[in-house]
Structures are given as structure tokens and as C-alpha cells.
């Protein structure tokens, strides 16, 4: 039982080690990586069922008691996040097997992918702020290499922007951790939640909260700190941008939600109102940025930004229903957005480009691919009965209940603009006639398409399922939000009181 | 050049011995796997400087990747000893021995962890240095 919480870290780690030991045997690496991501998926399901049935689980690494030791905590929010990450990891791994070129494979793609997954799971599971910083570094370092792996010109340019901005964010995060340690003398998050209100230095704590807001805000790509994202996400291979798009910004959102529900809740009228304003601006700038783009993956990148706005809108509202909406939205978004990036890779395989101008006529040749694009695209825009509809509905409903009419209105309008953007892709890529002189489809490309479409179909099915069976996920997000808003169970699990 | 080459050959075992000494001291006195691993990488880096990178790779006899993997593997498995004895992952377990020559010896899972760090750091350092040396 004690190992169940460590397994989400150990499985990717041991997979990475095994992949490094079989460095010169690519086919063995591929099977090992697939096996590892499958095992992670099974563990994540077991973890979530355990937390749902038995409540919040915590384990002290090395048996050092909290707050001195490092705690791994699994509450509903973090185990839901681990499960979604495992699902995405599995789908992208399936996709990589059919998509990744042999050069990147033999230069350590699979070990790096697994180190990335370990960092992501670690950030979700840890109960200690400094340890969270370490996990951030684990995932960032592997993402730095993944984004530059292959060394194409555009890739290196994107990587430089990505690395620079993320290093600044890490420095701010570390500074914030230092200040907080100086203030409270502890970094265990549960212990901080107890000690911060006793300090009485509300303004100092709020200032520190803003350092964290900026640090995590850069990682989550909120307004006005998002510039690195559209500059870099369209440069690496599709499988890499898909896993980045699905998981990395969401780790930032997770961290924001975690610290702003557990630690920095002293002056919510200021901090959380600020978050609400930022969320509205993020939605608008993201979606307007997307309108101006004409490259498949760049459009999707800008939509990540606008969707991040929705996710932190629930945090800004700071009610159980609002946070439940956020959690629902994160789950929905991770699946849908990864899927759209995977579709863009399949389209590139069929049409030979990511540029909307050079594409066209995919619907006639590949109706199945067109249908598989339409499901996540409509879900992203919030069409019923897909998952995006319920995610947006719950957030906007709660916004109206709290009389936050402006941000709710923005959320509605941005939904329509998203639909417009998706329809632009639909028209340009799938509907209009193929442009003259488009690359003809070779037999080899057609052959490997099935391998690409399988994970895409899997995720599309999941989106439909989350829409039709929204009640189950909604119940789960509601309970997770209750745990976040009333942290007594979390504190009891960590501090054993 | 002759002097450097001769010194390099004599320095090799000394540096490796120093690295093991640093590793073994790590728990009660200054030292540890990290600094030990760095020192262990020095003779091979020196060899690459004096001769060339392929020759250093031959001297190493294995790939830096494997050293890293071996190190991570050691570190990971050292955590399981505690688990088998019913404690959480990574819990330190110690045994004490009275050995001839060495006298009183503490041996425990943190030492195994440190050996893991030693190989991982040695592997990473050599991977960086050797691939930079081959770049030219």
C-alpha cells in the first residue's frame, strides 16, 4: 500500500533506466516504453480508486515525519491529474511508436519521455513546495532536451525562447520558496497552511503570493506571460508538442490551484480577484491571437492559452462549484488538446504540411480523419453533448451565480470565437479543394496512418464518453473541489493530527 | 607531451582511489557520491585531453549511458530495502560490522544510494565531456 503512492514515480523512472540500458536496441526500447506507460496507466487507475474509496493518502519518504520529511500526498485532485497524465502518456506513446523518426529514437527519445512523465507525476504527488520545485526541474530539463532533440533550425530557435522564459520562471519560483521559508520556517504545504495564518503578516504573505503567481503564471502561460508558448510549441515533432500541449502548462495550472487553495488564502478579495481578471484577459488574448494564425499547430497553441483562462477562472471564483468546473475543464482540455495536436500530425502525414494554405481536400480522401478532427474540435469549442460543453457550462453557470457577469460573458464569447477558429481549420484543411501542386500521397505514408489514427480515435472516444457520461467526472470534480476548499482532511492526512 | 602522458598514467589509479575515499566518507564526514563521481570522471576527461575522446571511451570500456543507468538503478533499488522491512520507500536501514583491517564499519541503504549517485554523476559528466570533445 505504501508503495502505491511511489509507483507513479518509480514506473517512469525504471522504464527510463531500462530504456537507457537498451540504448542500442531500438525495438526493445519501444516495447519497454509502451509497457511502462501501460503500467503507469494501471497504477493511476488503482490510485484513483483507492483515494476515492479510502480518502486522502499520504506517505512520508524515508519515514521522516512531516513537516521535516518529504510527503507524497494523493488527494482526489492530484490522483485525477495523475490518471489523465497517464492516459495521455499512453496515447502519445502509441502515437510515437508510429510517428517518431529513427534518429530521435536512437538519441534517447524514450528515456527522456519517461523522465518527463516522472517529473509531471512528481509535481502532482508532492506535498512539499521545494520538492515541487525539484519535480518541475526534472520535467523542464527533460522537456528542454525533448524540444531541441533533432536540432533542426526552427526547433533550436523555439527551444531558446522556451528555455529562457522557463528558467526565469524557475528562478522566481525558487525565490518565492526562499522567501516563504524565511517567513514561515517550513515548506511542507500542509504545515504552511497551518502556520501562515498564525504569522499575521498578511501583506508580506500576499506579496510572496504574487511571486508565486508570476512564477506559475509563466509556466501556465497566462496573460501577459504566455509569449514563449506559441513561439515554441509548433517546432518539435508532433508527439512531443502533443505531450507538451497536454501536460506542461497544466502542471502550472495545478500548482496555481494547489497553492492558492491551500496556502495563499489570506487575502482572497485581492489575489483571487486578480486571478479572475487575468483569466478573462488570458481567454481573450489567446483566442484573438489564434485568429491571426495560419499554421495548424500555431492556431492550436494560441487556443491552449485561451483555454488556460477558463481553467483559472474557476480558481478566481474560489467556490466549490467554480473549482469543480476548473478541474472538469482541465481533464477535458488535456484530452482534447493532445488529441488535436495528434490530429495535426496525421494531417501533416496526409497533406505534407502544417500550413493551412498548402492543405485541403483531406475530407474527400480521408473522411475518418476528418471525423476524428471534428470530435475534439467541437468539444474544444464547447458543443453539446461533448465534454467541452459541460466544462464551459459549469464554469459560466457558477460565474453567473456569483454575479461575475463580465468574466462569464467573456467566457461565452470566447467559446464562439473558438468555434470560429476550429471551423477555419475545418474549412481550410478538410473542406476546400486541395491546392494545385499539393504533395501526392505515397503508399508508405498511407500504411503508417493506421498507427497514428488509433490513439487519436481512443482519445476521441474518451471525449465523447466524458460528454455523454459527464455526471461521473462531474461528481469526482465536485468531491475533489470540496477537498480543496476544505483542506482539513488534507492537513489531517499529512500532519497525522 | 611525454611528461603529461606519463603523469596521466600514474594519476589514473590515484584519482580513482581518491574518488572512492570521498564516496566512502559521505555519510559522517565531508564527501559523498556526487563529489566522488566528479573526481571519478577526472582521469577519463584527462585522458581525453591528453590523447583523444575515442581513446578515452576505450579506456572506459562502457558507454556513459550505461553508467548513468546503473547509477539510477542502484539509487532506485536502495529505496526498496526499507519497503521490504515494512517501512516507507527510501527509509535508511543500517547494519554495523567489526571487520579485520577496516575495524568498525557502518553499512546501510544510504551508502548504496550514494554509490548510485556516484555512477550517475560520473556517467553524466563523462557524457558531456566526451561528446563535447568529439564535437571539434
CA of B108 vs chain A CAs: smallest distance (Å): 13
Q: Which residues of B touch A6 (CB under 8 A)?
A: 79, 89
What mean pLDDT, rounded, does chain B reach? 87
Q: Which is more confident, A150 or B6?
A: B6
pLDDT class for B88, splitting at 50, 70, 90? confident
Q: Which residues of A touch B79 (CB under 8 A)?
A: 6
C-beta atoms of B72 and A59 within 8 A:
no
CA of A92 vs chain B CAs: smallest distance (Å): 24
pLDDT tens across A243-288, in order? 999 899 999 999 999 999 999 988 888 999 999 999 999 999 999 9
Q: CB–CB of A257/A323 below 8 Å? A: yes
Q: Which residues of B touch A108 (CB under 8 A)?
A: 65
Residue B88 DSSP one-character state? P
Residue A152 has what pLDDT?
Answer: 80
Of the candidates B66, B69, B91, the beta carbon closest to that of A63 is on B91
Nearest chain A Cα to B91, which residue?
A62
C-beta atoms of B88 and A61 within 8 A:
yes
Q: Which residues of A touch B65 (CB under 8 A)?
A: 20, 23, 108
Q: Which residues of A touch B91 (CB under 8 A)?
A: 62-63
CB–CB contacts below 8 A, A to B? 46
Q: Which residues of A touch B82 (CB under 8 A)?
A: 62-63
C-beta atoms of A20 and B68 within 8 A:
yes
CA of A20 vs chain B CAs: smallest distance (Å): 6
Q: Which residues of B touch A32 (CB under 8 A)?
A: none
Residue A118 has what pLDDT?
Answer: 95
Cell numbers at A326, concatenated? 476548473
Spell out which chain A residues touch chain B, with contact meaning CB-CB distance below 8 angstroms: 2-3, 6, 10, 13-14, 16-18, 20-21, 23, 59-63, 108
Q: What is the ipTM of this complex?
A: 0.89
Residue B124 DSSP one-character state? H
Q: Which residues of B touch A60 (CB under 8 A)?
A: 88
To probe the interface with A, which of B88, B90, B119, B124 has the most A CB atoms within 10 Å? B88
pLDDT at B18 over 80: yes
Q: Which residues of A touch B73 (CB under 8 A)?
A: 17, 21
What CA–CA distance (Å, rounded) separates A75 from A489?
9
- Apex CA A76: angle with CA A305 and CA A466, to 5°? 60
To probe the interface with B, which of A1, A58, A61 has the most B CB atoms within 10 Å? A61
Nearest chain B Cα to A111, which residue?
B69
pLDDT tens across B93-131, in order? 888 877 777 777 777 888 889 999 999 999 999 999 998
Q: Which domain holds residue B30?
A: 2-135
What CA–CA distance (Å, rounded) separates A196 from B1?
64
C-beta atoms of B76 and A2 within 8 A:
no
Of the candidates A3, A10, A20, the beta carbon closest to that of B69 is on A20
- 3-state SS, chain A, equals CCCCCCHHHHHHHHHHHHHHHCCCCHHHHHHHHHHHHHHHHHHHHHHHHHHHHHCCEEEEHHHCCCCCCCEEEECHHHHHHHHHHHHHHHHHHHHHHHHCCHHHHHCCHHHHHHHHHHHHHHHHHECEHHHHHHHHHHHHHHHHHHHHCCCCHHHHHHHHHHHHHHHHHHHHHHHHHHHHHHHHCCCEHHHHHHHHHHHCCHHHHHHHHHHHHHHHHHHHCCCCCCCHHHHHCCCCCHHHHHHHHHHHHHHHHHHHHHHHHHCCCCCHHHHHHHHHHHHHHHHHHHHHHHHCCCEHHHHHHHHHHHHHHHHHHHHHHCCHHHHHHHHHHHHHHHHHHHHHHHHHHHHHHHHCCCEHHHCCCHHHHCHHHHHHHHHHHHHHHCCCCCHHHHHHHHHHHHHHHCCCHHHHHHHHHHHHHHHHHHHHHHHHHHHCCCCCCCCCCCHHHHHHHHHHHHHHHHHHHHHHHHHHCHHHHHHHHHHHHHHHHCCHHHHHHHHCC
Nearest chain B Cα to A58, which residue?
B88
Total domain count, chain B: 1
Residue A3 has what pLDDT?
Answer: 83
Nearest chain B Cα to A22, which residue?
B66
C-beta atoms of B89 and A6 within 8 A:
yes
CA of A108 vs chain B CAs: smallest distance (Å): 10
C-beta atoms of A17 and B69 within 8 A:
yes
Q: CB–CB of A107/A26 below 8 Å? A: no
Q: Kindly give the pairing relationship between strand A57-60 and strand A71-74.
A: antiparallel
Q: Which residues of B touch A3 (CB under 8 A)?
A: 83, 89
Residue A368 has what pLDDT?
Answer: 86
Cell numbers at A199, concatenated? 504569522
Least Cα distance to A468 among A376, A378, A385 occurs for A385
Residue A309 has what pLDDT?
Answer: 92
pLDDT class for B37, splitting at 50, 70, 90? very high
Kindly list the averaged pLDDT for each block of 10 residues, start to end, along chain A of length 497: 85 93 89 94 94 91 85 93 95 90 86 94 94 94 89 84 91 94 92 89 90 93 87 88 91 94 88 92 91 88 92 92 94 94 87 80 82 91 87 92 90 91 87 71 65 90 90 92 92 84
Least Cα distance to A183 among A191, A60, A65 occurs for A191
Spell out which chain B residues touch chain A, with contact meaning CB-CB distance below 8 angstroms: 63, 65-66, 68-69, 72-73, 76, 79, 82-83, 87-92
CA of B5 vs chain A CAs: smallest distance (Å): 33
Q: Which residues of A touch B76 (CB under 8 A)?
A: 10, 13-14, 17
Q: Kindly give the pairing relationship between strand B94-99 and strand A57-60.
A: unpaired
C-beta atoms of B76 and A17 within 8 A:
yes
Amino acid at each position: 500500500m505504501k508503495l502505491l503512492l511511489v509507483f507513479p514515480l518509480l514506473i517512469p523512472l525504471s522504464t527510463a533506466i531500462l530504456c537507457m540500458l537498451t540504448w542500442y536496441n531500438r525495438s526493445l526500447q519501444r516495447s519497454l516504453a509502451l509497457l511502462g506507460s501501460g503500467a503507469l496507466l494501471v497504477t493511476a487507475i488503482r490510485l484513483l480508486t483507492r483515494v476515492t474509496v479510502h480518502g486522502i493518502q499520504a506517505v512520508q519518504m524515508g519515514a521522516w515525519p512531516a513537516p521535516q520529511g518529504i510527503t507524497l500526498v494523493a488527494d482526489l485532485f492530484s490522483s485525477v491529474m495523475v490518471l489523465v497524465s497517464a492516459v495521455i502518456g499512453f496515447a502519445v506513446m502509441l502515437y510515437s511508436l508510429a510517428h517518431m523518426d529513427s534518429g530521435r529514437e536512437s538519441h534517447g527519445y524514450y528515456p527522456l519521455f519517461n523522465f518527463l512523465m516522472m517529473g509531471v507525476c512528481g509535481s502532482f504527488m508532492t506535498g512539499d513546495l521545494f520538492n515541487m520545485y525539484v519535480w518541475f526541474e526534472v520535467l523542464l530539463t527533460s522537456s528542454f532536451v525533448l524540444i531541441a532533440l533533432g536540432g533542426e533550425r526552427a526547433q533550436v530557435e523555439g527551444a531558446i525562447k522556451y528555455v529562457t522564459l522557463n528558467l526565469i520562471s524557475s528562478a522566481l519560483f525558487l525565490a518565492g520558496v526562499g522567501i516563504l521559508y524565511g517567513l514561515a520556517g517550513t515548506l511542507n504545504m500542509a504545515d504552511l497552511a497551518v502556520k501562515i495564518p498564525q504569522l499575521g503578516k498578511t501583506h508580506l504573505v500576499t506579496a510572496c503570493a504574487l511571486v508565486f503567481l508570476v512564477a506559475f503564471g509563466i509556466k501556465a502561460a497566462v496573460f501577459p506571460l504566455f509569449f514563449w508558448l506559441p513561439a515554441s510549441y509548433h517546432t518539435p515533432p508532433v508527439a512531443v508538442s502533443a505531450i507538451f500541449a497536454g501536460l506542461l502548462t497544466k502542471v502550472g495550472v495545478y500548482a496555481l490551484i494547489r497553492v492558492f487553495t491551500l496556502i495563499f488564502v489570506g487575502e482572497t478579495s485581492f489575489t483571487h480577484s486578480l486571478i479572475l481578471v487575468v483569466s478573462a484577459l488570458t481567454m481573450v488574448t489567446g483566442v484573438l491571437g489564434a485568429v491571426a494564425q495560419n499554421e495548424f499547430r500555431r492556431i492550436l497553441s494560441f487556443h491552449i492559452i485561451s483555454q488556460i483562462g477558463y481553467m483559472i477562472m474557476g480558481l478566481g471564483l474560489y467556490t466549490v462549484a467554480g473549482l469543480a468546473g476548473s478541474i472538469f475543464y482541465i481533464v477535458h482540455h488535456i484530452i482534447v488538446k493532445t488529441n488535436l495536436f495528434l490530429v495535426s500530425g496525421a494531417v501533416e502525414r496526409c497533406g505534407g504540411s502544417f500550413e493551412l494554405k498548402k492543405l485541403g481536400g483531406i475530407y474527400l480522401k480521408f473522411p475518418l480523419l476528418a471525423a476524428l478532427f471534428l470530435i475534439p474540435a467541437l468539444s474544444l469549442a464547447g458543443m453539446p453533448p461533448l465534454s467541452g460543453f459541460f466544462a464551459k457550462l459549469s464554469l459560466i453557470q457558477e460565474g453567473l451565480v456569483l454575479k461575475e457577469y463580465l468574466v462569464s460573458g467573456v467566457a461565452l464569447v470566447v467559446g464562439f470565437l473558438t468555434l470560429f477558429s476550429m471551423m477555419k481549420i475545418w474549412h481550410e484543411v478538410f473542406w476546400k479543394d486541395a491546392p494545385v501542386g499539393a504533395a501526392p500521397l505515397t503508399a508508405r505514408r498511407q500504411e503508417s496512418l493506421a498507427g497514428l489514427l488509433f490513439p487519436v480515435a481512443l482519445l476521441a472516444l474518451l471525449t465523447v464518453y466524458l460528454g455523454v457520461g459527464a455526471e461521473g467526472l462531474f461528481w469526482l470534480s465536485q468531491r475533489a473541489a470540496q477537498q480543496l476548499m476544505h483542506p482539513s482532511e488534507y492537513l489531517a492526512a499529512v500532519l497525522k493530527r | 607531451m611525454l611528461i603529461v602522458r606519463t603523469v596521466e598514467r600514474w594519476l589514473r589509479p590515484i584519482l580513482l582511489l581518491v574518488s572512492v575515499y570521498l564516496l566512502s566518507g559521505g555519510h559522517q564526514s565531508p564527501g559523498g557520491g556526487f563529489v566522488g563521481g566528479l573526481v571519478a570522471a577526472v582521469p577519463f576527461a584527462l585522458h581525453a585531453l591528453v590523447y583523444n575522446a575515442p581513446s578515452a571511451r576505450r579506456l572506459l570500456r562502457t558507454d556513459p549511458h550505461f553508467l548513468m543507468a546503473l547509477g539510477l538503478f542502484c539509487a532506485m533499488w536502495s529505496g526498496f530495502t526499507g519497503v521490504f522491512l515494512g517501512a516507507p520507500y527510501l527509509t535508511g536501514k543500517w547494519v554495523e560490522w567489526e571487520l579485520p583491517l577496516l575495524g568498525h564499519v557502518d553499512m546501510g541503504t544510504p551508502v548504496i544510494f550514494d554509490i548510485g549517485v556516484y555512477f550517475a554523476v560520473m556517467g553524466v559528466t563523462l557524457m558531456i565531456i566526451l561528446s563535447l570533445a568529439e564535437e571539434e
